[in-house]
Amino acid sequence: MYKFLYFSIFILIFSSCSKKETIPTSFSVGIIADCQYCDCDIKWNRYYRKAPHRLKEAVAELNKHDLAYTIHLGDFIDKNFKSFDSIIPTWNSLKSTSYHVLGNHDFEVADSLKPLIFDKLNLKKRYYSFEKDNWKFIVLDGNDLSVYGALDSLKIKETQVMFNKIERDSLTYAKPYNGGIGKTQFEWIEQEIINAKGKNVALYCHFPLLPIANDNLWNTVELQKLLEKYSNVKVYLNGHNHDGDYVYKNNIHYLTFKAMVNSADSSAYAIGKFYQDSLVIKGYGKEKNSTLNFLK
């Protein structure tokens, strides 16, 4: 009787230890910014016609790795709705789950076709969230308020109010090619962070928050203040600034990825490995390697 009891306890302890050892401690994701394809001549060091080949190269490499997902950080195309059809088949050949962030150039299509963009990119919502292990990922729509992407009368009115204010204040990022976060989405972001409850939070957006420059989100200061209220917010990842950039401020990492389209003879994309206490970036082509450490 006692031997059986001891044996049972031993099995329970052994099983418990085995389960702990199988809990994942990290996972990897593919990250691409500004593929930005169109059948266009080179302009501003953007090699538009090379983008499909660069994307194929990236997908071939990413498919060699065990990825939780791959995400594109906006500006999948540069302009023209038909541009989507030239690169979506390549994107759909990814073995991993895939996600899209909306960029300003994704709306550079005829007004009548703008409502069709979301289905093309397999987006059920313009902004959304998902979870993986001990991480919550919040995908923002920085075109929520914009002169090109606000598609209903209320959003258009809210856009005008916000843009008029930042233009009146002579803010450097008061540019019509940038965009902002509307009131409804802003409130949703905070609730998503609150609901994370013990999970680390990472945010994806097309527009940078830092450093302050011409290409920032319109309400960049307000969003920074919101994120800084919560210690579980660890990192903000974006595209839009094709040269890339990095700032660490008030315990949050702000990382801008280099644009794939700005590549004459190389590429730019990355694999990010998320740990509990860090994010390790392995860059390909022009993208740099980096390690972002998180405070507890």
**DSSP readout, 78-100?**
SS-TTHHHHHHHHHTT-SSEEEE
State the pLDDT at residue 1: 44
State the pLDDT at residue 13: 40
Q: Which domain holds residue 108?
A: 28-293
Largest CA distance in the chain: 83
Domain assignment present for 269: yes
State the pLDDT at residue 34: 98
Do 170 and 194 contact (CB within 8 A), yes or no?
no
Q: How many domains does the chain have?
A: 1
Per-residue pLDDT tens over the stretch 226-252:
999 999 999 999 999 999 999 999 999
Domain assignment present for 94: yes
Q: What distance in Å separates the CA atoms of residue 185 and residue 179, rounded to the nearest whole number?
A: 13
CATH of the domain at 46: 3.60.21.10
State the pLDDT at residue 296: 67
State the pLDDT at residue 122: 96
State the pLDDT at residue 105: 98
Do 270 and 256 contact (CB within 8 A), yes or no?
no
Which H/E stretch holds residue 245? Answer: strand 245-249
Q: What distance in Å separates the CA atoms of residue 78 and residue 76, rounded to the nearest whole number?
A: 7
The bridge status of strand 200-205 relative to strand 135-139 is: parallel
State the pLDDT at residue 120: 97
Ranges of the chain whose pLDDT falls below 70: 1-24, 296
In 3D space, the residue among 251, 254, 230 whose CA is nearest the CA of residue 295 turns out to be: 251
Domain assignment present for 18: no
State the pLDDT at residue 85: 97
Per-residue pLDDT tens over the stretch 244-277:
999 999 999 999 999 999 988 889 999 999 999 9
State the pLDDT at residue 172: 97
